[in-house]
Chains A and B, each alone.
Chain A
Amino acid sequence: SQKIEQNSEALNIQEGKTATLTCNYTNYSPAYLQWYRQDPGRGPVFLLLIRENEKEKRKERLKVTFDTTLKQSLFHITASQPADSATYLCALDINTGNQFYFGTGTSLTVIP
């Protein structure tokens, strides 16, 4: 069955450093992948989308890579700030469209 794994451990980093979050998947070849941010008690908020033919995508301090050979996406936040503290989710499109499966998320805490 489809499996999407994200860092199971919470990630704590110092303000100003780069945070790197991992999304690994098995048993499928998604055409594209998305990253979301979720704050406690709220719905996820879309951040970035990357297609299978794109190696890298950037948006301000965010960078996403997509390696279809390794079946992995990396999500980077550079110059991290305490306001970046949240849970980050990756989501993969499944086959025929509008079926997006989510990973369990990684909790990030940026320490001032």
Chain B
Amino acid sequence: NAGVTQTPKFQVLKTGQSMTLQCAQDMNHEYMSWYRQDPGMGLRLIHYSVGAGITDQGEVPNGYNVSRSTTEDFPLRLLSAAPSQTSVYFCASSYGLEGVIYGYTFGSGTRLTVV
């Protein structure tokens, strides 16, 4: 019973490099989201998905792409890394219950540094 698995846990990138942060959940949750967390800024929504094949932008989508080809996987792609993307990234998943999206299950995070 793994929950939400994020890889890698740590990553250092050079400015301009691209990479994909992986996120997988084994709970058959329909809803998935990516957040970044910066000191003093709290968690900010990057992209989210309400089911396989459906994605949409959150508060801070610029510089990031997502796809949702399966229910389980929701990778986040950094197109051309910038120092401003240095952050801790969290993936989260949830399910609908009685008309609400119930509490998120979060992964353990990816700490990304862009130099």
Q: Which residues of A contact B (CB under 8 A)?
A: 4, 31-32, 34, 36, 41-49, 51, 89, 91, 93, 97-105
Residue tally, chain B, CB below 8 Å to A:
28
Let me know if B109 and A42 touch, CB within 8 A: yes
Complex interface residues of chain B between 25 and 65 (CB less than 8 A to chain A) = 31, 33, 35, 40-45, 48-50, 58-59
Let me know if B42 and A98 touch, CB within 8 A: no
**Do A105 and B109 form a contact, CB below 8 Å, given A93-B100, A98-B48?**
no
**Do A102 and B35 form a contact, CB below 8 Å, given A51-B100, A89-B42?**
yes
Complex interface residues of chain B between 72 and 93 (CB less than 8 A to chain A) = 90, 92
The 8 Å CB contact of A98, one of B101, B105, B107, is B101
**Do A98 and B31 form a contact, CB below 8 Å, given A89-B43, A93-B100, A93-B101?**
yes
Let me know if B107 and A43 touch, CB within 8 A: yes
Give A44 Cβ to nearest chain B Cβ, in Å: 5
Let me know if B33 and A49 touch, CB within 8 A: no
Let me know if A43 and B100 touch, CB within 8 A: no
Let me know if A46 and B45 touch, CB within 8 A: no
